[in-house]
A = this chain, B = another copy of it.
Amino acid sequence: MVAKSRSTTKDASARYSPVQILNSEGELTGPSPVIKDEQLVRTLKLMIIGRSFDQRALSLQRQGRIGTYAPISGQEAVQVVSSLCLSDDEWMFPTYRDYAAMYVHGMPLRDLFLYPMGHPQGGRAPESVNIYAISISIATHLPHAVGAAWASKIKGEKKAFMTYHGDGATSEGDFHEAMNFAGVFQVPLVTICENNGWAISLPRERQTHSETIAQKGEAYGVAAVMVDGNDILALYKVISESLDRARAGDGPTFIEAVTYRLGPHTTADDPGRYRSQEELEEMKLKDPLVRTAKYLRGLGLLSESEEAEMWEEAKSLVGDALKEAESIAPPNPDFFFDHVYAELTPNLLKQRREFVPEEAE
């Protein structure tokens, strides 16, 4: 054997570039996967519901009717399509920003409002809905997703599991340990990195020195793909293939979906401090909703009035869900004693007995 030159990040960038089928103008740049017309229309419709939810939540937060909220605008395509690719009996491990994904997988819009309201029911999917509880601590849920997928494999099921995380999350040790286990034990898991360009104020380029996030999959011998995260066709292709691989026992896949966070990190954040207006304007041109609508119009699947109707329907859906959410009674003030252990310990029994709730401010 002779000396090989050292690998550089240049090599990696040549190997990884985003799979794209539908460009920003809504034009095909390659052959589309086979997707039924209704499914295409449904996809847009769900993305519009996501956007409407987002807009409503933002305005509610400004009015003080909900607490801190992490907006999803710009990321609807990857959330909606990935979730549509997952079967109802399969499991999703989301983050605090995956409202649209959770909605599509069965979480009621009402409960999605309850979450930023800080109501405990917002943290708990209905019994029949296979969505894991959100952990606020970045990347901590990734090993859980691996463990659940692994358990499913041990049980001999043929289910796929899906989990989400941000670009920032890839810097945490738990991302690494989870991915390594996923590779070693070949678990049926698809991990989707929603690379939205920012982790609060840190741009993707300063989060890690690798040219792509996708190439991190190589560290674990895990199949990896980079995909245009605002392109529903590419997403359908890449994600459904990956889920099928998982179901067939062919192991995990790591997907970098390149998208963009059009809003602030959360309602507590002011992106004007660290990000330029120019960047934002440029990225708005890649808006997945605009692109998808253009494509559907081009196919003759969407008229202007139909689109307007989708928005109206979405708004009333969201409005109804909000009303429901606001009518849900607050929990008993001592509810939190009941969910520490299966049975109250002597300490907790005593403390709950002595507990007197404070009056509201």
Q: A9-B218, A180-B208 are in contact. Are A1 and B17 (CB under 8 A)?
A: yes
Of all chain B residues, which has the CB nearest A176?
Answer: B176
In the bound complex, residues from chain B placing their C-beta under 8 Å from that of A211 are 221
C-beta contact mask, A212-232 vs B, less than 8 Å → 1, else 0? 001111111111110000000
Q: Is A312 at the interface (CB under 8 A from chain B)? A: no
Chain B residues with CB under 8 A of A214: 7
User: Is A273 at the interface (CB under 8 A from chain B)?
Assistant: no
Given contacts A184-B206, A218-B215, A234-B3, contact A223 B175 (CB under 8 A): no
| Most chain B CB neighbours (cut-off 10 Å) among A1, A177, A207 | A1
Is the Cβ of B30 less than 8 Å from the Cβ of A3? yes
A183 near B171: Cβ-Cβ < 8 Å: no
Hey, which chain B residues are within 8 Å of A217, CB to CB? 7
**Quick one: copies of this chain in the complex?**
2
| In contact, B221 and A218 (Cβ under 8 angstroms) | no
Contact assessment for B2 and A218 in the assembled complex, using a CB-CB cutoff below 8 Å: no
Instruction: Give the residue of B3, B4, B20, B173 whose beta carbon is less than 8 angstroms from that of A16.
Output: B4
Q: Which residues of A contact B (CB under 8 A)?
A: 1-4, 6-9, 11-12, 15-21, 29-30, 171-177, 180, 183-184, 186, 206-211, 214-225, 234, 237, 253
Task: Name 13 interchain pairs, CB-CB below 8 A, sorted by A.
Answer: A1-B20, A2-B19, A2-B30, A4-B19, A7-B16, A7-B223, A7-B225, A8-B223, A9-B221, A11-B15, A180-B209, A183-B209, A216-B219
User: Which among B177, B183, B208, B218 is the interface contact of A173 at CB below 8 angstroms?
Assistant: B177
Determine the residue in chain B with the shortest Cβ distance to A182. B209
Would B183 and A208 count as touching, CB distance under 8 A? yes
A207 to B220, CA, bound (A): 10
Hey, which chain B residues are within 8 Å of A175, CB to CB?
176
**Chain B residue with the shortest CB-CB distance to A30:** B2
Cross-interface CB contact of A209 among B18, B174, B221, B224, cutoff 8 Å: B221
CB distance from A350 to the nearest CB of B (A): 31
The answer to whether B210 touches A218, judged by C-beta atoms less than 8 angstroms apart, is yes
Cα-based distance from A218 to B211 in the complex (angstroms) = 9
B18 pairs with A1, CB closer than 8 A? yes
Q: Which residues of B contact A1 (CB under 8 A)?
A: 17-20, 29
Output the least CB separation between A181 and chain B (Å): 9
* CB–CB B6/A223 < 8 A: yes
Contact A7 B15 (CB under 8 A): yes
Contacts of A183 in B (CB 8 A): 208-210
Report chain B residues within 8 Å CB of A174. Answer: 173
Bound-state Cα–Cα, A253 to B5, Å: 13
Assembly CA distance A7 to B215 (angstroms): 8
Once the chains bind, are A219 and B219 in contact (CB under 8 Å)?
yes
Given contacts A1-B29, A19-B4, A21-B3, contact A210 B220 (CB under 8 A): yes
Nearest-neighbour CB distance to chain B for A221, whole angstroms, equals: 3
Contact: A221 with B225, CB < 8 Å?
no
Give the Cβ gap from A36 to chain B, nearest Cβ, in Å: 21
Q: Separation in Å of the A2 CB from the closest CB of chain B?
A: 5
Q: Measured between alpha carbons, how far is A15 from B20 in the docked complex, in Å?
A: 26
Q: How far is the CA of A4 from the CA of B137 in the complex (A)?
A: 34
Q: Which residues of B contact A173 (CB under 8 A)?
A: 172-174, 176-177
Chain B residues contacting A29 (CB-CB under 8 Å) are 1-2
